[in-house]
Amino acid sequence: MSRYTKADNEIELDTDPALAVENLKVTKEDFMVTLQDIKPSFGFWYRIKTMIAASSKLRQIRVGPLFRSRQSQQLPVVSCTCIRKHSSTIKDAPELVVENLDGALTGAVVIGLNRPNSRNAFSRNLLTLFEDAIKKVQFDSNIRVLILRSMHPGMFSAGADLKERATMTPAEVGPFVSSLRASLRAFQNLPVPTICAIDGVAVGGGMEVSLTCDMRVASDDAKMGLVETKLAIIPGGGGTQNISRLVGPSLAKELIFTGRTISGKEAARLGLVNHSVPQNTEGDAAYQRALLLAQEIVPQGPIALRAAKQAINSGSEVDLSTALSIEQLCYAMTIPTKDRLEGLTAFKEKRKPNYTGE
């Protein structure tokens, strides 16, 4: 079987037999490998579940689009990229990781919470990093979708860092909460579609962060809830308003009054999350599902995505007549664009459009 690797640091992997991969070897760098029995209907991305035999540095393999075979009898060739496993033991690791994806997900950016020892609780430092990331995304026209996730399994975010909060004076608490609320509002107002991947516990402020995203994906065993009343306070990061707009005031009151924690599966039934999926052995099933959702969004016209988000967000806050006027204005934004003409031309020529955001 043909395969292409670099000679140094080869790592043998035991792969999913359903993919019929023979003698697969990968390196720490990019590589190409020939696969058997892969049907185009599988889509552009394949997830090869691996057992690492010689190293724990690699967590998974991200597999790109099929290439045409030069000869009809050749096996299809797939471009693959290794994704390194994030480790909490890395010295001086940043508390917030920002990654721009490539391949079939070019245009997608991932923001990863990386404070495992504090269950990704928002400290002053993490809040500052989060604010900086928001500003970069806000003015980057190349971004088409954003995924917010935890870099560690079993947790999303515990909300505010209560240990740090305990050291604050009453005069400091107010400004910090105000800054957190403003940051979450700025995140909610980002012009691009946002997806929250919840692969563990998301309570209190962590739940409020997830509610600021346009879409949420959770693992079935995720734990979610606005539990602030148990601490004799109320959600202060927009939780009371965002959850009531998702599930209605009555159910929102029940969840907040009781401080109840629910599973991801139950959250999907109530409409709090878009999708709930069984957890995998790596603990990142929600993130993997979020990647698939992002893959569906990335090919769409970027100007249209932003206009659609603005129309929905602004229109949902007003009466129907005003909302329809807002939709008309947002539609008008797409008319003079090169992307609109490209979409029409591609449809006529029966090919995929190449949108540039112009």
* 12 among known catalytic residues: no
Q: CB–CB of 266/162 below 8 Å?
A: no
* Residue tagged active-site, from 160, 286, 290, 304: 160
* Residue tagged active-site, from 208, 252, 286, 290: 208
First to last CA, the chain: 44
CATH of 302-349, one of 3.40.50.720, 3.40.50.1820, 1.10.12.10, 3.40.50.11930: 1.10.12.10
* Residue tagged active-site, from 159, 205, 239, 301: 205
Going residue by residue through the chain (358 aa), what tens digit of pLDDT does each one get? 333 333 333 333 334 333 333 334 443 333 333 333 333 333 323 333 232 222 333 334 443 433 333 333 333 333 333 333 333 333 456 899 999 998 889 999 999 999 888 889 888 889 889 999 999 898 888 899 999 999 989 999 988 787 888 888 878 888 888 888 888 999 999 999 999 999 999 999 899 999 999 999 999 999 999 999 998 999 988 899 999 999 999 999 999 999 999 999 999 999 999 999 999 999 999 999 999 999 999 999 999 999 999 999 999 989 999 999 999 999 999 999 999 999 999 999 989 988 988 8
Identify the pLDDT of residue 108: 94
* 218 among known catalytic residues: no
Identify the pLDDT of residue 335: 92
* 95 among known catalytic residues: no
Boundaries of every domain in the chain: 3-84, 96-297, 302-349
Identify the pLDDT of residue 92: 56
Fold exhibited by the domain 96-297: 2-enoyl-CoA Hydratase; Chain A, domain 1 (3.90.226)
Identify the pLDDT of residue 358: 87
> Matching CATH topology for 96-297 and 302-349?
no
* Residue tagged active-site, from 95, 108, 228, 264: 228
Summarised one tens digit per residue, pLDDT across range 276-306 is: 999 999 999 999 999 999 999 999 999 999 9
What whole-number distance in Å separates Cα of residue 323 and Cα of residue 313? 10
* 208 among known catalytic residues: yes
